[in-house]
Amino acid sequence: MFHGMMSALNLQSVAGVVLILLLCWLFSENRRRFPFLLVIGAIGLQVALVMALFGVPAIRAGLTSFGAVFDGLAKSAQAGTAFVFGFLSGAGPQPYPLTTPGALFVFGFRVLPVIMVVCTLAALLWHWKILKWITKAFGFVFSRTMGLRGPTALAAAATIFMGQVEGPIIIRAYLGRLTRSELFMLITVGMACVSGSTMVAYVTILQGVLPGAAAHILTASIITAPAGILLARILIPRDRAAEAAQDKMPPDERVYRSSMDAIMKGINDGTQIAVNVAACLIVFVALVAMVNLMFGALPPVGGAPISVERILGYVFSPVAWCLGIQNSETMQAGQLLGTKMVLTEFTAFIKLGAIPAAEMTERTRTIMTYALCGFANVASVGINLAGYSVLLPERRDEIIKMVGKAMLAGFFATCLSAALVGAIPSFITGMPS
């Protein structure tokens, strides 16, 4: 009966979950200390959250309602952009006849302003203690279900909403006393998740091609945090003796003097993030274009020119298969996974959003949304090195040695979440299988 409910693609995804855990165990620093209970707790929490999204109508409707919230944030950001840049924002009457309406979606005017607005809103909500209490609630769940100490649980939860470097700032005074395993776990979770500001940006990109995009993006970021914690604990097991030697957590240092102070600091933080995103996209896309021009001098292979995208497709297509992607779409999905790691998840989401609905199945598009929803890419290695060098200058050499491994762990954490979504039978998810 169970086999009848599970399709071949569902079983393919189950195999992917097992392979990811096995791969991390093979590269563990201590294979004898495999966290069996944590595997049960983390995967159980992920499955419960995903099944709640897909299987409980009330929860699904509640999460889907976030689409209206995200849409309102995007429209508000566009209103501010239109005031500064006029018709270039894509809003209001255009001074020229439109022959390609899709050209009105300019990343710099539609996505980057959203990041700035949401970053400012997050600072304001933190000052009003709304976001702080939400973060503490998630931290309590992580502490109870996965055995994290209070400070690391709080920082891991904050990372879901605030970002890979911004989240740990709330326990800045405690960072120096984290064990090596805990520090690695925080970097991994930061790579595995995204921030609230980028969530809205991703929803903006995927609107129109993925039903319930807001619910999926929000769920993806939340459920990948337990996956990041799990894989980090497998790679660098917990050191209970070192934890026992640490002091209690001091008060956090993220303080805004007033609502206006929160708004101004939020604007400053959002501007820095937007500039960093834009700079990374410009440079990495330019570098890939440069390499493709070099490949252009080589003869075609298989009737098509050699390109970075084709190479990434071949390299990552086995990973795509492990997520439960059907054979006819593994090449396309592999290109997206490779693009995410090399060119940032923003570029991958843009490519995913540009694929017409008729050219990719809803199952593949949904699974790839979960697989791409994380900061694990080459650019984030530099971002983490720069951020943690400021937060923990005395442990910079230690961070340099672990940040590359954390990127791979974060990448596989998003893949683990995607495989779990693919493993759930279609009668629950509603996705074709």
Residue by residue, what is the 3-state secondary structure of 365-431?
HHHHHHHHCCCCCHHHHHHHHHHHHHHCHHHHHHHHHHHHHHHHHHHHHHHHHHHHHHHCCHHHHCC
C-alpha 417/C-alpha 371 separation (Å) is 7
Give the highest mean pLDDT range of 21-25, 172-176, 287-291.
21-25
User: What mean pLDDT is predicted for residues 3-23?
Assistant: 84
Positive or negative torsion for Cα 228, 233, 239, 244: positive
* Average pLDDT score, the chain: 81
Confidence of residue 330 (pLDDT cuts 50, 70, 90): very high
pTM of the model: 0.80
Statement: residue 359 has pLDDT above 90: no
User: What mean pLDDT is predicted for residues 136-155?
Assistant: 78
Residues 429/9, Cβ–Cβ less than 8 Å: no
Q: Which residue has the higher pLDDT, 371 or 388?
A: 371
pLDDT tens-digit map of 202-224: 888 887 788 878 888 888 888 89
User: What mean pLDDT is predicted for residues 10-24?
Assistant: 92
Confidence of residue 148 (pLDDT cuts 50, 70, 90): confident
User: What mean pLDDT is predicted for residues 320-338?
Assistant: 92
Q: Which residue has the higher pLDDT, 158 or 405?
A: 405
Statement: residue 231 has pLDDT above 90: yes
Statement: residue 79 has pLDDT above 80: yes
Q: 301 - beta bridge partners? A: 304
Statement: residue 305 has pLDDT above 80: yes
Domain count, the chain: 1
Q: Which residue has the higher pLDDT, 244 or 349?
A: 349
Number of Cβ within 10 Å of residue 211's Cβ equals 16
**pLDDT value of residue 19:** 94
User: What mean pLDDT is predicted for residues 134-145?
Assistant: 77
**pLDDT value of residue 2:** 41
User: What mean pLDDT is predicted for residues 111-129?
Assistant: 80
The residue range of the domain holding 240 is 2-429
Q: Which residue has the higher pLDDT, 316 or 143?
A: 316
User: What mean pLDDT is predicted for residues 248-265?
Assistant: 74
